[in-house]
């Protein structure tokens, strides 16, 4: 009778899983994979860490959970999925203004066009949307700059006429850099500004 604790003779394989060499997928190096924190390889990514490969619902959820958090980092997927969601909402609000404005439009006494009452409703909704997402949009842009290892103060490049917006766009498209980890703040979010 053979011993159960010994591998079969001539098989060349280890019998027990506990005897197998330990392989941690978080440490696997692939130039095409997103960075993974070793401690979070098997659980959810904490809110203070960037979520690489985020889906649209995850990006929108993290956007609102980190409403005024200017510290830490945001992955490209977090940033660009939010940009898409924000663009879609803005288009819908503009359609509401156009359709609502055209539905009851009148010609004024001096020959000017007066939009219908739906235009005002759409305008109010657009203003509420703009005010609701202004601060978190600035915060996610700063976190995205941090992920590319740029200071959050680079956000002010957007005010430079003609080229500022293009430079800021290039910075937000850039891949994450390991040096950007200096902006990470593990633990509870403080919401403090970190340039």
Residue 74 lies in a domain: yes
Residue 172 lies in a domain: yes
pLDDT over 70 for what percent of the chain? 73
Half-sphere exposure for 81 (CA within 13 Å, toward CB): 18
Q: Into how many domains does the chain fold?
A: 1
Residue 38 lies in a domain: no
Residue 16 lies in a domain: no
Residue 171 lies in a domain: yes
Residue 167 lies in a domain: yes
The total number of residues written for the chain in this structure: 195
Answer yes or no: is pLDDT of 5 > 70. Answer: no
Segment 130-140, tens digit of pLDDT: 999 999 999 99
Residue 11 lies in a domain: no
Segment 31-83, tens digit of pLDDT: 445 555 554 456 688 888 899 999 999 999 999 999 999 999 999 999 999 99
What pLDDT, on a 0 to 100 scale, did the predictor assign at position 34?
53
Answer yes or no: is pLDDT of 27 > 50. Answer: no
Residue 170 lies in a domain: yes
Q: What is the mean pLDDT of residues 81-94?
A: 95
Q: According to the 3-state scheme, what is the secondary structure of the chain?
A: CCCCCCCCCCCCCCCCHHHCCCCCHHHCCCCCCCCCCHHHCCCCCCCCCCCCCCCHHHHHHHHHHCCCCCCCCCCHHHHHHHHHHHHHHHHHHHHHHHHHHHHCCEECCCCCEECCHHHHHHHHHHHHHHHHHHHHHHHHHHHHHHHCCCCHHHHHHHHCCCCHHHHHHHHHHCCCCHHHHHHCCCCCCCCCCCC
What pLDDT, on a 0 to 100 scale, did the predictor assign at position 113?
83
Segment 141-186, tens digit of pLDDT: 999 999 999 999 999 999 999 999 999 999 999 999 988 888 887 7
Structure tokens at 5: 């604790």
Per the structure, the complete domain to which residue 115 belongs is given by 56-178
Q: Write down the residue that tokens 């009851």 correspond to.
A: 104
Between 52 and 10, the more confident residue is: 52
Tell me the whole-structure pTM to 2 decimals.
0.71
What pLDDT, on a 0 to 100 scale, did the predictor assign at position 24?
44
């Amino acid at each position: 009778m053979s011993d159960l604790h010994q591998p079969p003779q001539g098989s060349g394989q280890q019998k027990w899983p506990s005897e197998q060499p330990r392989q941690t997928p978080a440490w696997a190096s692939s130039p095409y994979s997103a960075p993974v924190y070793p401690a979070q390889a098997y659980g959810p990514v904490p809110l203070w860490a960037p979520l690489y490969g985020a889906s649209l619902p995850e990006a929108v959820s993290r956007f609102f959970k980190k409403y005024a958090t200017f510290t830490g980092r945001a992955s490209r997927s977090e940033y660009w999925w939010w940009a898409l969601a924000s663009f879609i909402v803005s288009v819908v609000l503009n359609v509401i203004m156009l359709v609502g404005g055209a539905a009851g439009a009148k010609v004024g006494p001096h020959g000017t066009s007066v939009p219908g009452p739906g235009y005002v409703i759409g305008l109010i909704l657009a203003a509420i949307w703009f005010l609701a997402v202004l601060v978190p949009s600035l915060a996610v842009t700063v976190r995205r700059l941090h992920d590319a290892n740029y200071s959050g103060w680079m956000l002010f490049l957007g005010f430079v006429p003609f080229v500022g917006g293009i430079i800021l766009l290039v910075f937000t498209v850039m891949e994450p850099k390991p040096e950007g980890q200096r902006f990470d703040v593990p633990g509870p979010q403080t919401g403090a500004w970190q340039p």
